[in-house]
Amino acid sequence: MVIAKMDFHLLGRQDDNRVCMSRFIKSHGPALFWAILIFILSSIPSLKTPDVGLSWQDKGAHVLEFGIFGFFLQRSFRTFFNEGIRVHVFVLIVGVLYGGLDELHQLFVEGRQASVGDFLADSIGIFLSQVFCWIGKRNYYF
């Protein structure tokens, strides 16, 4: 009798683990995927943005890339904290730190170079994503 009860409990626990893994992938998967994608793209020597005729297109690509990352981080951190300023603060801290680590990583990739301007563009992208999240939350768009 005890063995049957224990087996039932273990089966229930496996189902709970599957649900937890599913929730983890849904909430944290996009941010982890995007962070890995940023790392991979930063590892490609001499990677250039497509020329569209704008002098600031490289910085715009950084703002867009890290803006998307900021939205994914927002989704991820909302599972740890209820809504509020703490989510935005943690997204800003993690996003800016990751942008700095990305530029540091590029120092060690042949054909790439670190740039303070790129770091600032990364930080602006993270910041703008949080401004849009905050405005959207206040206006019930998200």
Per-residue pLDDT, 80: 78
Whose CA is closest to 137, among 85, 64, 91, 66?
85
How far CA 120 is from CA of 54, 72, 79, 140, in Å, comes to 18, 19, 28, 30
Per-residue pLDDT, 55: 63
Tens-level pLDDT at each residue, the chain (142 residues): 444 444 444 444 555 667 777 777 888 889 999 999 999 999 988 776 666 666 667 888 899 999 999 999 998 888 877 767 888 999 999 999 999 999 999 999 988 888 999 999 999 999 999 999 888 776 554 4
Per-residue pLDDT, 32: 94
What's the predicted TM-score (pTM) here?
0.78
Whose CA is closest to 38, among 88, 73, 76, 78?
73
